[in-house]
């Protein structure tokens, strides 16, 4: 499925569909849920059986299971959901991490817990993305803040999931998913394909990035692959009782992501060197952008990726400022992580502007908070 | 193909207990597969969690050992992504009918081309003998110490009602009939389902005065009633063990168009 280059006026969720198609998605399984449904609808229109398969399934557990199954068939596969569906997917996300299956999961976040606010934005799933399944594992997650980034970071999610054989997430929200704006699709995109076992490519981008990532043995090609969620050796011997095998496997699953933080992490920096820096992401950062653009005392570090945790840019910012204001649409989830890194790196004060209920913090709410802090 | 070209000898010894019915099913499956001349490199085996769900890992082919209850959902994705593969699911009563019940009925309804073999031992064997959705009424288990007060599911009848293209049920006593049904299931397009009532002497028989596997096989022989005869007796099929009978036979054999054909799926990747 080729995507036509050019400029388009689209909804965020529609831009995600374009990004998935541009990345070469060949399988999508979904279940209707607000506010992510437009992604399923968009792909239902495009994946007609010949260009790829769209499947509406009985629940979100079935969806993510089928997506993992499809990935072992050798195709790029994804699902899209929101809070309650995302919670249902957690066990299988752990399976994807353990079996090192490249898949993309889009979570258009809405207010929780439980059914909460189906039509309103939130950033309440950031920790569920990182810790939602049992056991130790690492994932890759991006946080778009515009229609353009819904496209760009969907492509990034596909690329990094293939590169490191991990589940990758697009953590959008109802605000970004439903906003309309300009999307520019470039003539040429860097797309990373499946690094298949037994196929050597000259293209650098297809090479396994380091010794921690194994080539992917696609089903039906005579590899006689065994895939399991149980503790296993490199050649898939099930060894649930072997301490050493478990340690080596689980540490490698984390290390292959953590060691490549510099390759994965993305951010935007406005007015670096300001004594007060706002650290934010997704739609919570929209108001902060306006403040940083208009007030020279305030800078902004906008995180475009959340996991693996971008310690380096936060540490760099913390070393050069006096105080940090973290803004997010939950009661302080990334705040504790950001605060830890900032304090370790000499920043004196880390405050939180938290807003739940569905509306992103406005520029005037940022200014009010900054006045309280004595910054402006 | 010799049996140890089909099964991975290097994985022996297997995890199954002495007297377990899985061996008989594995033997019948090997025979059916071999006699049909099917190829291991063009087949993928999918399992969930449980004793029977381990079988794919013993077969010398691509194997996807998945999460509990979701084998059919995983298999659906795999089949639609790689339609040239033959996909076979091994599952058990708990995996298929309890935690995976929704995927089972929707799998039958969707009619994606795959063969599902459910080894129904009427108990959760791997976790030590808890009641399952097919434990007969009043039978004992570790979680029904006063006898099972619930009534069991009839998995084969559910598959018929939900739309599977082929449905059969046998016990491990019926090795010839079972082999024949597995062959029929493997040859038919669409969702095909073979249930095998199998003995678990360790965790089912031992608590129900059938500790010896031969006692369990004898129980199956005595309890089995052919479906045509059962019909004549107007047995209500929703209850597997109504009047203490296990209804066996072919339940349905039809040719609903399978999902891949309906959506015109072609090869990808």
Shortest CA distance from B63: residue in chain A: A226
Tokens (6 digits) for A367: 């200014």
Residue in A66, A95, A219 closest to B67 by CB: A95
Q: Nearest CA to B263 among B76, B40, B97? A: B76
Q: pLDDT value at position B231?
A: 61
**Cα–Cα distances in angstroms (integers) from residue A374 to residues A49, A186, A276, in the given order:** 60, 44, 10
Q: Is the pLDDT of residue A187 over 80?
A: yes
Per-domain residue ranges for chain A? 1-259, 268-372
Mean pLDDT of the B38-44 span? 97
pLDDT in tens, A190-243: 999 998 887 765 554 445 667 899 889 999 999 999 999 999 998 788 899 999
- Answer whether B18 touches A (CB < 8 Å): no
A226·B40 Cβ contact <8 A:
no
Detail the DSSP E strand segments found in B125-261: 130-131, 166-171, 191-197, 224-226, 246-253
Q: Nearest CA to A340 among A320, A355, A318, A321? A: A318
Residue in A66, A230, A238 closest to B76 by CB: A66
Q: What is the dihedral of CA B210, B211, B217, B221, to 10 degrees?
A: -10
Q: Nearest CA to B88 among B148, B50, B42, B133? A: B42
- Answer whether B10 touches A (CB < 8 Å): no
**Same CATH fold assignment for domains A1-259 and A268-372:** yes
Give the class (CATH, top level) of A268-372.
alpha beta
Q: Which fold has domain B13-56+64-263?
A: Rossmann fold (3.40.50)
Q: pLDDT value at position B269?
A: 39
pLDDT in tens, A300-357: 999 999 999 999 999 999 999 999 999 999 999 999 999 999 999 999 999 999 999 9
Query: Are B98 and A98 contacting, i.e. CB atoms less than 8 angstroms apart?
Result: no
- Answer whether A136 touches B (CB < 8 Å): no
CATH number of A1-259: 3.40.50.970
- Answer whether B264 touches A (CB < 8 Å): yes
Q: pLDDT value at position A209?
A: 66
pLDDT in tens, B165-218: 999 999 999 999 999 999 999 999 999 999 999 999 999 999 999 999 999 999
Q: pLDDT value at position B202?
A: 97
């Amino acid at each position: 499925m080729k995507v036509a280059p050019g400029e388009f006026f689209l909804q965020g969720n529609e831009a995600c569909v374009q990004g998935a198609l541009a990345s070469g998605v060949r399988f999508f399984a979904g279940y209707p849920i607000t506010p992510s449904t437009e992604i399923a609808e968009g792909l239902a229109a495009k994946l007609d059986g010949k260009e790829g398969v769209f499947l509406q399934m009985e629940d979100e557990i079935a969806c993510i299971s089928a997506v993992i199954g499809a990935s072992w068939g050798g195709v790029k596969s994804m699902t899209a959901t929101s809070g309650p569906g995302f919670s249902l997917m957690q066990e299988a996300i752990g399976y994807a991490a353990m079996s090192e299956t490249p898949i993309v999961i889009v979570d258009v976040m809405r207010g929780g817990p439980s059914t909460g606010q189906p039509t309103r934005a939130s950033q309440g799933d950031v920790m569920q993305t990182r810790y939602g399944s049992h056991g130790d594992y690492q994932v890759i997650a991006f946080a778009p803040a515009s229609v353009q980034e819904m496209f760009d970071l969907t492509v990034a999610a596909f690329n990094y999931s293939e590169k490191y054989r991990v589940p990758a997430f697009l953590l959008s929200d109802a605000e970004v998913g439903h906003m309309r704006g300009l999307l520019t699709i470039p003539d040429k995109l860097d797309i990373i394909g499946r690094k298949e076992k037994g196929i050597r490519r000259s293209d650098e981008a297809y090479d396994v990035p380091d010794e921690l990532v194994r080539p992917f043995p696609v089903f039906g090609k005579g590899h006689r692959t065994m895939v399991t969620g149980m503790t296993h050796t490199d050649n898939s011997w099930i060894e649930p009782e072997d301490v050493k095998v478990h340690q080596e496997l689980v540490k490698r699953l984390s290390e292959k992501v953590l060691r490549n933080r510099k390759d994965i992490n993305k951010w935007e920096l406005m007015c670096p060197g300001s004594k007060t820096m706002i650290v934010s992401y997704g739609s919570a950062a929209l108001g902060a952008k306006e403040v940083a653009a208009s007030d020279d005392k305030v800078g902004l570090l906008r995180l475009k990726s959340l996991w693996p945790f971008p310690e380096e840019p936060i540490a760099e910012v913390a070393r050069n400022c006096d105080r940090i204001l973290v803004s997010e649409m939950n009661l302080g989830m990334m705040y504790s992580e950001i605060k830890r890194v900032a304090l370790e790196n000499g920043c004196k004060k880390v405050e939180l502007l938290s807003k739940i209920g569905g509306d992103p913090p406005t520029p005037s709410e940022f200014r009010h908070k900054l006045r309280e802090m004595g910054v402006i | 193909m010799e049996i140890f070209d089909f099964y991975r000898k290097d994985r022996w010894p297997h995890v199954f207990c002495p007297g377990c019915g899985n061996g008989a099913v594995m033997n019948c499956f090997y025979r059916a597969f071999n006699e049909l001349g099917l190829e291991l490199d063009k087949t993928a085996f999918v399992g969930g969690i449980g004793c029977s769900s381990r079988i794919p890992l013993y077969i010398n082919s691509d194997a996807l050992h998945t999460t509990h209850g979701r084998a059919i959902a995983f298999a659906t994705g795999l089949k639609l992504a790689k339609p040239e593969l033959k996909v076979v699911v091994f599952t058990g009563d708990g995996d298929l009918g309890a935690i995976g019940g929704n995927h089972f009925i929707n799998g039958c309804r969707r009619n994606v081309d795959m063969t599902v073999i459910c080894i129904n031992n009427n108990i959760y064997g791997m976790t030590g003998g808890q009641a399952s959705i097919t434990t007969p009424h009043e039978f004992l288990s570790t979680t029904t110490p006063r006898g099972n007060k619930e009534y069991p599911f009839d998995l084969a009848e559910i598959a018929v009602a939900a739309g599977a293209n082929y449905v059969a049920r046998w016990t491990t006593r019926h090795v010839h009939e079972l082999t024949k049904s597995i062959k029929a299931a493997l040859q038919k397009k669409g969702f095909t389902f073979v249930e095998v009532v199998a003995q678990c002497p360790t965790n089912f028989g031992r608590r129900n005065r059938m500790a010896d596997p031969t006692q369990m096989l004898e129980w199956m022989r005595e309890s089995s009633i052919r479906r045509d005869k059962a019909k004549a007796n107007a047995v209500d099929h929703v209850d597997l063990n109504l009047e203490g009978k296990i209804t066996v036979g072919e339940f349905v054999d039809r040719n609903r168009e399978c999902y891949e054909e309906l959506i015109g799926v072609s090869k990808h990747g």
